[in-house]
Amino acid sequence: MRVDGRKPLQLRPIHMETNYLIHPEGSVLISVGNTKVICTASIEDRVPPFMRGEGKGWITAEYSMLPRATETRNIRESSKGKVSGRTMEIQRLIGRALRAVVDLEALGERTVWIDCDVIQADGGTRTASITGAFVAMTLALNGLVEKKALTKFPIIDYLAATSVGILEDGQTVLDLNYAEDSTAAVDMNVVMTGSGEFVELQGTGEEATFSYDQLQGLLNAAQEGLMELFEKQKEALGDEIVKKIELSRNNT
Amino acid sequence: MRVDGRKPLQLRPIHMETNYLIHPEGSVLISVGNTKVICTASIEDRVPPFMRGEGKGWITAEYSMLPRATETRNIRESSKGKVSGRTMEIQRLIGRALRAVVDLEALGERTVWIDCDVIQADGGTRTASITGAFVAMTLALNGLVEKKALTKFPIIDYLAATSVGILEDGQTVLDLNYAEDSTAAVDMNVVMTGSGEFVELQGTGEEATFSYDQLQGLLNAAQEGLMELFEKQKEALGDEIVKKIELSRNNT
Amino acid sequence: MRVDGRKPLQLRPIHMETNYLIHPEGSVLISVGNTKVICTASIEDRVPPFMRGEGKGWITAEYSMLPRATETRNIRESSKGKVSGRTMEIQRLIGRALRAVVDLEALGERTVWIDCDVIQADGGTRTASITGAFVAMTLALNGLVEKKALTKFPIIDYLAATSVGILEDGQTVLDLNYAEDSTAAVDMNVVMTGSGEFVELQGTGEEATFSYDQLQGLLNAAQEGLMELFEKQKEALGDEIVKKIELSRNNT
Amino acid sequence: MRVDGRKPLQLRPIHMETNYLIHPEGSVLISVGNTKVICTASIEDRVPPFMRGEGKGWITAEYSMLPRATETRNIRESSKGKVSGRTMEIQRLIGRALRAVVDLEALGERTVWIDCDVIQADGGTRTASITGAFVAMTLALNGLVEKKALTKFPIIDYLAATSVGILEDGQTVLDLNYAEDSTAAVDMNVVMTGSGEFVELQGTGEEATFSYDQLQGLLNAAQEGLMELFEKQKEALGDEIVKKIELSRNNT
Amino acid sequence: MRVDGRKPLQLRPIHMETNYLIHPEGSVLISVGNTKVICTASIEDRVPPFMRGEGKGWITAEYSMLPRATETRNIRESSKGKVSGRTMEIQRLIGRALRAVVDLEALGERTVWIDCDVIQADGGTRTASITGAFVAMTLALNGLVEKKALTKFPIIDYLAATSVGILEDGQTVLDLNYAEDSTAAVDMNVVMTGSGEFVELQGTGEEATFSYDQLQGLLNAAQEGLMELFEKQKEALGDEIVKKIELSRNNT
Amino acid sequence: MRVDGRKPLQLRPIHMETNYLIHPEGSVLISVGNTKVICTASIEDRVPPFMRGEGKGWITAEYSMLPRATETRNIRESSKGKVSGRTMEIQRLIGRALRAVVDLEALGERTVWIDCDVIQADGGTRTASITGAFVAMTLALNGLVEKKALTKFPIIDYLAATSVGILEDGQTVLDLNYAEDSTAAVDMNVVMTGSGEFVELQGTGEEATFSYDQLQGLLNAAQEGLMELFEKQKEALGDEIVKKIELSRNNT
């Protein structure tokens, strides 16, 4: 039994409130247990300078936490005048992951800006951000298709992320909360497509290491959780969009 | 009739969800029409260097908008590496206003950090922030009283804010939404205590001016709206805290 | 009697030395008692990007203090690498106020850069800056008219500012010096046109409040002082320019 | 055959010049093919504020490239005034990896500053940095032991890193050079201890994905290269230090 | 004959208005032709961290230009968020030069902050700053002596600076104005003590060079101008202080 | 006898390894005793905005030290987020000096970026940088001539730099190492062309001064050392390039 009563390979309760905000082209408020993230997708009709003229789109992400998303107040990065290394790592990861399931040529010379703002944190904010950002992005791009601004549905597969880890007592667990994450010996984030292919794998032993066999256990745990997350995404997106993704996946 | 069907001196619907987040000592999600702000209050057990040893507390505020709180996406201030003049003006205003209704000596050498994060904007974000921040701060300070960390309830009066303005057609209106605010000839923010005293008055004619008589009309409109806001705050805070504030007001 | 021997509604001695510097298109050294500000106006033959193609001009202001304008030395904002919230508030106020008395269409696609550099401070630096900046700007724009770069005189009214306040002892006073300002219960800055219309009204109770009746007393005091300031501006500008402003005011 | 004539699972030539500089406590110039990095280790007799009083040491790393380490000149991060996300990711990785093989309690309240400065880049600069930094750090800490400043040899195992990837044609390769890295479908960095335990695993598909089976192939390739790197480290460190590490490893 | 009618080795008219401002411990408004600089000296009763406990004082300088000191408006360094290389060079030079004529031990653990703010520029702003700063500093330190805060008069000699140069036509000239400076082949700044010793010599050929013989001509021209500047400083400081400096010089 | 056994007017051993790196158009690793600097020259086919359309080239330099080039570790300027005044002074000096011996018109609208990265410091890093940068730049520009991108060889003379100084005991010495430099009474950097003309002369007495006679002694010492440095540069560049420089010098 884990600190919050879950079984080792049990996810926390997931909830996604789509179209949570009125202004963005796509938005979702995702909750993974007590972790809550507002994910929005904004469409801009041009790409960054280094990509102009290639006929392809771009997806980029920004991540932030409200100062009191955490147990003690964090200083705002705008007050510090610079973005931390942790924030940069996370936003690069989110953007890279999302680009793996989008047909950037079908998107045309557009940028999708993803914003993930953590309003409450209890571990797993980066994986919740990816899972939610996929939904927000899909809603925004589906809007472009419905407005006939795109001729081809550009999402080619589902994308979700979760964490797995090895606790101090050696137990392999799925979807670590903050209490678990801060004492775990090994922490691994796994980003996967709906077809079960890896997009990102980041395993870290902080003052610890892990063996080849432990790695296999972690990968299996992650896969189990991810299959459940894909189901939640399908519910949130609705049948019509699910059909479009399936069709797109088969044609790729 | 106004653009959203309201009468000239009618507020938008107000809603406050108290204790919206689990970590902060006080928090509220305030909605004023489509404007939504997460207000939190955090207690720190020391004051800034310039106040040490005076036996008094301090209240300071930070204000920010999510990038997609607005119709077009704003660049994050953390990415720009600096806070805009508008943001600074607003956060100075919020802090100054709240300090007017707190007995800083009763607070002792503590800092109350107020964070107002706009998650959706439709005009009046600074006045909604003040109205919500008062509630979050009161919840946090009441918590200190309940924990016996404070011997005296330090809130000495209610505090709320609203905007009034003169539209292009010369009409005086209460609680401007974004469409009205961006075309108004005159815009005035009024911060008032529950006893009807002014705390801040900021009237601005952007490429326009206003007469002494127009000023009186604006002040009357503001007062009417503020009385309604104080009632909403009382509902949100609940009878027990309302009694403490009344008692504290009578003793000041 | 006040700390410096003045009556409650008496201004400090005012002096303006026009064309104080050789390089700027318009300049003045304004003294209000011991407060001394160099105000310059610079003409640039283009507007900021967000205004291009609209056929209108723009007026923007910057404000700064020499490090030793004050009793104790201030750290330069260039050394700190950022501009303080107070500075931003003041420069936004100066720009906004000046724009209220200029026909921006008559100005054409030009920017007037106003620089207010306080070389000695004794309270009221922002109001002295506005009063002086109006004179510097008028000299610069008159120069454009004389060079036939402008066909219409673009100043449509006088503009001046002063402060009023309520001292600790409850007395309402005009034109506060630093000693008064730093202990006043209420401080209000009033920007007005030569026709007696308000442009800006900023009243603040720092850890204090003010009633409706006190507000009326403050407004009356301000108006009295402003009438005297307009006379000083007329003397500084000279008969020829005064005639142009009167003519322009009657035609608006 | 690969672009530079190597076999798929062949490392580039490795060279390490120990004690390359006169000032640092430990230093090495490591070459991996054309990639050249100066790694230094500096000892500071205190730890960062967040660790004081715990009786443990800390290891932190900084990474940079000379502007002309690359084919086209890069703008210096000092000129840009900020460190890029890529740099932050790499320096966090280096520090975390090294901490996994050091007994931080044996180190006492000291900080080891690792500096990895790439003077010539041809792919794999972060893995060469880790492999070289381990050697520089070991030399510096051995110096402390020789000076009797430490009573226990604090290195508990070897540490090296290499990259593996899947090229566009589907081939799995070891130790990618820049030409390979910039076109690879999948890129994975593996950090391992001399005992064959994983410390870090970072696999990324940029606009691509990889299957469970491909992952196993990548891991095997990495392990083969890492065994060779540990041999090179032993040669560079010399018999005496090798004996100390073996002893330390057996006692852990 | 030069562009402004001067002879080759003739200084521009010099004027110094001492005690120009009310707040600083020492201040002067120096004019060298059309170049005008406000120089102030502020005393702080401690030294920077790197000097604490040595029983010696420190002198440091800051230099800035008002935006419209020049013919076209300069962007403020506070707006740019950083100080230019030119500004840094100048302020390092001013501080270093002044330290050469002060007995830092006699000063005790105090810092003298020198601020040189150019309000009008026409060439030679750095040399005018040094000449004026010496006077402001001397007034401030004499104040400390008069208040008996110092037992020994700490100024050990006069200090002044001027520029010399070689014009495009090969002529050696003294005290270049902006028109001359911007086209000169060689530009040299010379800082000298009242005893005729060099403190700083900075000769620069911008896209030009100069011979050993030309150097001797430049040095002679500088010396002639400097002798005149020392006389102006004596007049500005007055007999009483002049006597103290002479006494101090003889005792060193 | 000096601290390292040299005679007063003896240079330290000089070594230059040309084409030290594979990517830059020109590069050299210069050693002057224990001071080691990597100098590179990069060609960009355009000039900065302020020079466009003039048909002339530009040369600009950047200078930096590795954190552990010195006895105690320096904080990186990229971490501090700003470049120090010392660094700015040095890089402005290097660029200005090199421009004195290049025919910028023959260079055409190109920029030469010089990077001087000190990997080990023992005094004289700025003069070693200039001496090495000249060689790197010459190699890069000769490459342009060989590729027929330039029709005229644009180097018009040799350029080298050294330091001279007066030690505490009054002795005049050449090429100060760090131990000498940090205690010298007077320090002077001299940049000279192969024809014996001065390009830059920067003499500084830190809390000391120097007489006219001492200056002559310093200049003679510098000249002696510089003649030796030109011979080293000729050896490093090789006969073919030496001939081109001689030819170019005779034609100027």
For residue A121, what is the nearest residue in chain B, using CA coordinates? B23
Given an 8 Å threshold on Cβ–Cβ distance, is E100 in contact with F199? no
Pick among A19, A66, A77, A82 to test the B interface (most B CBs inside 10 A): A66
> Distance (Å, rounded) from C-alpha B226 to C-alpha B44?
30
Q: Residue range F124-151: average pLDDT? A: 97
The answer on whether D40 is annotated among ligand-binding residues is no
Coil, strand or helix at D171: coil
Q: Residue range E205-220: average pLDDT? A: 92
* pLDDT surpassing 80 at residue B252: no
Question: Which residues, at least 6 apart from F97, have a Cβ–Cβ distance to it below 8 Å?
Answer: F130, F159, F161, F191, F199, F200
Per DSSP bridges, beta strands A172-174 and A159-166 are antiparallel
Among E34, E71, E119, whose Cβ lies nearest the Cβ of C38?
Answer: E119
Q: Residue range D58-66: average pLDDT? A: 97
Q: Residue range D202-226: average pLDDT? A: 94
Are the beta carbons of D28 and D243 closer than 8 angstroms?
no
Pick among B39, B46, B78, B120 to test the A interface (most A CBs inside 10 A): B78
Q: How much is the pLDDT for C85? A: 86
* pLDDT surpassing 90 at residue C215: yes
Given an 8 Å threshold on Cβ–Cβ distance, is F119 in contact with D44? no
Pick among B29, B31, B39, B68 to test the A interface (most A CBs inside 10 A): B68
Question: Bigger pLDDT: A138 or D208?
Answer: A138
* pLDDT surpassing 80 at residue B142: yes
Average pLDDT of chain D to the nearest whole number: 95
Q: How much is the pLDDT for C122? A: 97
Q: Give the model confidence (pLDDT) of D160-187 as tens digits.
A: 999 999 999 999 999 999 999 999 999 9
- Whether chain B has a CB inside 8 Å of the CB on C205: the answer is yes
Q: Measured between beta carbons, which residues in chain E are less than 8 angstroms from residue F104?
A: 207
Given an 8 Å threshold on Cβ–Cβ distance, is D219 in contact with A197? no
Given an 8 Å threshold on Cβ–Cβ distance, is A104 in contact with D205? no
Q: Å from F32 to nearest chain E CA?
A: 24
Q: Measured between beta carbons, which residues in chain E are less than 8 angstroms from residue F211?
A: 196-198
> For chain F, where are the E strands, in sequence order?
14-18, 26-32, 35-44, 58-65, 111-120, 159-166, 172-174, 186-193, 198-205
Q: Residue range E197-220: average pLDDT? A: 94
> Distance (Å, rounded) from C-alpha E93 to C-alpha F186?
15
How far, in whole angstroms, is CA D117 from its chain's centroid? 12
What number of CA atoms fall less than 13 Å from residue C102's CA on the CB side? Answer: 26
User: At E77, is the pLDDT very low, low, confident or very high (cuts 50, 70, 90)?
Assistant: confident
Given an 8 Å threshold on Cβ–Cβ distance, is B120 in contact with A21? yes
Q: Give the model confidence (pLDDT) of E141-184 as tens digits.
A: 999 999 999 999 999 999 999 999 999 999 999 999 999 999 99
Domains of chain D, with CATH numbers? Answer: 14-76+84-250 (3.30.230.70)
Q: Measured between beta carbons, which residues in chain A are less than 8 angstroms from residue B113?
A: 67, 73
Among A100, A205, A206, whose Cβ lies nearest the Cβ of D205?
Answer: A100
* pLDDT surpassing 90 at residue E69: yes
Q: Which is it for the CA torsion F139, F140, F143, F145, positive or negative?
A: negative
Pick among A78, A155, A201 to test the D interface (most D CBs inside 10 A): A201
Q: Measured between beta carbons, which residues in chain D are less than 8 angstroms from residue A202?
A: 201-203
Q: How much is the pLDDT for A85? A: 86
Among A86, A195, A203, whose Cβ lies nearest the Cβ of D201?
Answer: A203
Q: Give the model confidence (pLDDT) of F83-95 as tens digits.
A: 888 999 999 999 9
- Whether chain F has a CB inside 8 Å of the CB on D24: the answer is yes
% residues pLDDT > 70 (chain D): 100
Q: Measured between beta carbons, which residues in chain A are less than 8 angstroms from residue D198?
A: 203, 205, 209-212, 215
* pLDDT surpassing 90 at residue F251: no
* pLDDT surpassing 90 at residue B1: no
- Whether chain A has a CB inside 8 Å of the CB on B44: the answer is yes
Least confident range of A33-37, C205-209, E48-52, E176-180: C205-209
- Whether chain E has a CB inside 8 Å of the CB on C95: the answer is no
Q: Residue range C42-56: average pLDDT? A: 94
- Whether chain C has a CB inside 8 Å of the CB on E86: the answer is no
User: At D1, is the pLDDT very low, low, confident or very high (cuts 50, 70, 90)?
Assistant: confident
> Distance (Å, rounded) from C-alpha E97 to C-alpha F207?
8
Least confident range of A221-235, B99-113, C201-215: C201-215
Question: Which residues, at least 6 apart from A173, have a Cβ–Cβ distance to it below 8 Å?
Answer: A2, A8, A9, A164, A165, A166, A167, A180, A221
Q: Give the model confidence (pLDDT) of A86-111 as tens digits.
A: 999 999 999 999 999 999 999 999 99
Q: Residue range F97-113: average pLDDT? A: 97
Q: Which of B149, B65, B140, B162 is nearest to B108 (CA)?
A: B149
The answer on whether E73 is annotated among ligand-binding residues is no
Q: Calculate the dihedral angle through the C-alpha atoms of B124, B24, A89, D46, rounding to the nearest 10 degrees.
A: 130
Q: How much is the pLDDT for C2? A: 94
Least confident range of A198-212, E190-204, E233-247: A198-212
- Whether chain A has a CB inside 8 Å of the CB on D99: the answer is yes
Compute the residue count for chain E: 252
Other chains touching A, judged by 3 or more CB pairs under 8 Å: B, D
The answer on whether E52 is annotated among ligand-binding residues is no
Other chains touching E, judged by 3 or more CB pairs under 8 Å: C, F
What phi and psi, each to the nearest 5 degrees, are found at residue D26?
Answer: -145, 140
**How many helical (H) and strand (E) elements, i.e. helices and strands, does chain B have?**
7, 9
* pLDDT surpassing 80 at residue B245: yes
How many other C-beta atoms are found inside a 10 Å radius of the C-beta of residue D50? 7
Q: Give the model confidence (pLDDT) of C190-208 as tens digits.
A: 999 999 999 999 999 977 8
User: At E116, is the pLDDT very low, low, confident or very high (cuts 50, 70, 90)?
Assistant: very high
Q: Å from E190 to nearest chain F CA?
A: 10
Pick among C82, C204, C210, C216 to test the B interface (most B CBs inside 10 A): C204
Among A82, A188, A197, whose Cβ lies nearest the Cβ of D211?
Answer: A197
Write the single-letter amino acid at A112: V
Q: Which of D165, D176, D156, D162 is nearest to D208 (CA)?
A: D165
User: At A57, is the pLDDT very low, low, confident or very high (cuts 50, 70, 90)?
Assistant: very high
- Reported pTM: 0.89
Helices B85-99 and C85-99, axial angle in degrees (round to 10): 110
Q: How much is the pLDDT for D252? A: 73
Q: Give the model confidence (pLDDT) of D91-145 as tens digits.
A: 999 999 999 999 999 999 999 999 999 999 999 999 999 999 999 999 999 999 9
E strand or H helix that includes residue D144 = helix D125-146
Q: How much is the pLDDT for F96? A: 95
* pLDDT surpassing 80 at residue E252: no
* pLDDT surpassing 90 at residue A81: no
Among B71, B83, B119, whose Cβ lies nearest the Cβ of A78?
Answer: B83
* pLDDT surpassing 90 at residue D207: no
What phi and psi, each to the nearest 5 degrees, are found at residue C212?
Answer: -60, -40
% residues pLDDT > 90 (chain A): 92
The DSSP output letter for E210 is: B
Q: Which of F137, F184, F175 is nearest to F12 (CA)?
A: F175
Q: Give the model confidence (pLDDT) of B181-200 as tens digits.
A: 999 999 999 999 999 999 99
Q: How much is the pLDDT for C81? A: 79
For residue E220, what is the nearest residue in chain F, using CA coordinates? F212
Q: Å from D38 to nearest chain A CA?
A: 23
Q: Measured between beta carbons, which residues in chain E are less than 8 angstroms from residue C133?
A: none
The ipTM estimated for the assembled molecules is 0.94
Q: Which of F52, F159, F152, F63 is nearest to F115 (CA)?
A: F63
Average pLDDT of chain F to the nearest whole number: 95
Question: Which residues, at least 6 apart from A231, have a Cβ–Cβ distance to it below 8 Å?
Answer: none
User: At B158, is the pLDDT very low, low, confident or very high (cuts 50, 70, 90)?
Assistant: very high
- Whether chain B has a CB inside 8 Å of the CB on A75: the answer is no
User: At E35, is the pLDDT very low, low, confident or very high (cuts 50, 70, 90)?
Assistant: very high
Q: Give the model confidence (pLDDT) of E93-110 as tens digits.
A: 999 999 999 999 999 999
Given an 8 Å threshold on Cβ–Cβ distance, is D83 in contact with F78? yes
User: At E218, is the pLDDT very low, low, confident or very high (cuts 50, 70, 90)?
Assistant: very high
DSSP string, chain C: --TTS--TTPPPPEEEEET-SSSSSEEEEEEETTEEEEEEEEEESS--GGGTTSS--EEEEEEEE-TTSSSSPPPPHHHHTS--HHHHHHHHHHHHHHHTTB-HHHH-S-EEEEEEEEEE-SS-HHHHHHHHHHHHHHHHHHHHHHTTS-SS--B-S-EEEEEEEE-TTS-EEES--HHHHTT-SEEEEEEEETTS-EEEEEEEETT--B-HHHHHHHHHHHHHHHHHHHHHHHHHH-HHHHHHHHHHHHT-
Q: How much is the pLDDT for A33? A: 97
Q: Show the DSSP H helices in chain A as ranges.
A: 77-80, 85-99, 104-107, 125-146, 178-181, 212-237, 239-250
